[in-house]
Chain A
Amino acid sequence: MHKLSTKKAFIAYALFGWALVLVADRVSELRVYQGATIAILTLAIASIILLTGYSGQVSLGHGAFLAIGAYGAAIAQSYWGSPFWFTFLIAILVSAAFGFILGFAAGRLSGPYIAGTTLALAVGLPTLANQFAFLGGETGLVYDAGSPPARFGEEFTLYKWFFWIAALVVLISIFLLRNLLNSRFGRNWKALRANPTAAALAGVNVASSKILAFTISAGVAGLAGALLGMISIVAPSAFPLSLSFTIITGAVLAGVTSLLGSMLGAVVLVVVPEIADAIAHRLGDSEKISTNLPGFIVSALLILTVLFSPNGPAEAMRKRREAHAKH
């Protein structure tokens, strides 16, 4: 993949954003909503790519950070009356703080332990929210994006507004993330993932580098969570365990080191439930099947990908080319 210069990349992103806006005008409400979902998933997947693909750490319960960000933003708005755009900042900061704590714990441990801990977090957090009144219980908290500004006219629906916000936030974030990954920090992470001892000898502070990765990754996930809360709800049911699995699947499908792939992963994740629905209809429309089939397909995809191209399709193709070159 050729690396564009920052300026060129900026232009590319801006053009892409412009294209998205044009497309959003022409498609149905459902597609616009799905577009917003894709954008949010892209951001969530990107946070995993930073954490796992670059710094080599594992989080199996990243959905927890999304939930923390969403709740942080909602609390800021409902209880402190923060303006909407400011709540995004709160979301990032709150999740990043938790990410810092977890990153610190992760520093002492290896893969399976931190993986299990994040999983525990993802399982337990929804139940926690259910118990406390000020977290809104099962119905959750109100989190309002407000209505689209009047000057956009009558035609401008709420969903389109969601899409614009999500797309804008995600584009900016991915752009910044891209710069971060291409910077010294990104190189440090890749170095310490490949060989921590060598990296340490080369002057990389392995421990703080890893904690930094966790913190930023959590912050990004928190932002994605706030966006998710915006388009759906800030309640336990919006952040189930399967969300964490979905994000990891997307990252694995994308090729866990490829930021560009994160969008591909997100698209796959949104398309699959559609396909699953179609299949469920063919199989007779039972509710048992339709609720569980998307999860089944996503999990199956995850296993297949991990079995046959754990580092993503790009990596697998490169290996095949190498093997052919030898003969």
Chain B
Amino acid sequence: MRELIGTLLIGITLGSIYSLMALALVLVWRSTRVINFAQAGQAILTTYIAYEIINRTGVFWLAILFAVVAGALLGAGIEYFLMRTLFRHADEGPVAAIAPVIATLGLLGIIRSVVGMIWGNEFRSIAPPVSTTGFVFNGQPLPFSMLNLVVIIGAAIVMIIFSFIFQKTDLGLSLRASAFQPEIARLAGIRVGPIRTIGWVFAGAAGAFAGVLVTPNDILSPNSLDVLLVFGFVAAVIGGLESLPGAVVGGLALGIGVALITNYISTVLVFPSVFIVLILSLILRPNGLIGSKRVRIA
């Protein structure tokens, strides 16, 4: 029983991180209809920036702040300079339809190679800001530490903030309208261009936050967030790409699933299981667990 609770707690921790990444992907998808594969690259760059700040100042919270701001700026920059140029040049042809996706892929490669050129490919680590020893419950330690708790709370705060913004504010309405029907939004007077940039700003900040939170327990290298990107994508798909709450639910479900499989079955089977879940989810419920009844056409 204790083991189950411990596993579930780990699962929720993992799930919170996946949810953040999924949120970032869904944010960009909803505001620009692009799957931003470069999100992993953005997050790794901002995480290395956090690494530098920690090395120089030793203050973890300052590092997160810098990383989030950097993530926001980076997101804005990418949207403004890369994505807008892409949409301006967009025309017909098989590749033009998915050109933005390929562009984000190229961007991922560029950012990662630049990170490698600056910092090198060897493994580094970030010292955790709070204790990583498990809480003691009834005299026995749980595999759940203060760091995990911080992660969960941090992610929850971010999700609540985004939820509020999207559903209750004018900005959120502008974001949603611009994502669903940009032309109608423009005819209604919404400045779709800057709104899209804001979508990328939020996503960049969320991704940066996730990247820094997940690294202290793990290694830091140019490729270390790749798996997070994949899991975030799977979580977003399970939750239905259209829905922010769906991203959260998908992330938590995936996190718990991964924790359970790792603990009770074997680490080895994690990835294949996740992949199978992805395929099954896409086949059985193409709109995600929470998605609306509309079939995914585009």
Contacts and interface: CB of A to CB of B under 8 A. Distances in A.
Nearest to A256: B95
B282 A300 contact: no
A108 B233 contact: no
B193 interface: no
Interface size class of B (residues with CB under 8 A): 35 or more
Interface string B99-117: 1011101111110111011
Most A CB within 10 A of own CB, among B102, B272, B283: B102
Interface in A86-136: 101, 104-105, 108-113, 115-117, 119-121, 123-124, 127-128, 131-132
Interface string A17-54: 00000000000000000000000000000000000110
Given A119-B230, A292-B121, A296-B114, A310 B109 contact: no
B95 A252 contact: yes
B275 A124 contact: yes
Given A289-B117, A306-B102, A295 B93 contact: no
A257 B94 CA distance: 8
Interface stretch (A5-13, A70-78, A180-188, A240-248): A240-248
Interface in B225-274: 226-227, 229-230, 233-234, 237, 241, 267-268, 271-272, 274
A300 B101 contact: no
Contact of B230 (A52, A120, A289): A120
A112 B103 contact: no
A120 B121 CA distance: 22
Q: Is the interface of A mostly helix, strand, loop or mixed?
A: helix
B86 A307 contact: yes
B106 A293 contact: no
Interface in B70-127: 82, 85-86, 89, 91, 93-99, 101-103, 105-110, 112-114, 116-121
Nearest to B222: A292
Given A117-B279, A128-B271, A288-B116, A311 B296 contact: no
B230 A252 contact: no
Nearest to B111: A299
B185 interface: no
A320 to B, nearest CB: 13
List 6 A-B pairs, minimum CB-CB distance, nearest first.
A299-B109, A302-B106, A292-B116, A296-B113, A303-B106, A311-B93
24 contacts: A53-B94, A58-B98, A58-B101, A60-B101, A60-B102, A101-B279, A111-B101, A113-B282, A115-B98, A117-B282, A119-B37, A120-B274, A124-B271, A128-B268, A245-B105, A256-B93, A256-B95, A287-B120, A288-B117, A292-B116, A306-B99, A306-B106, A307-B103, A310-B95
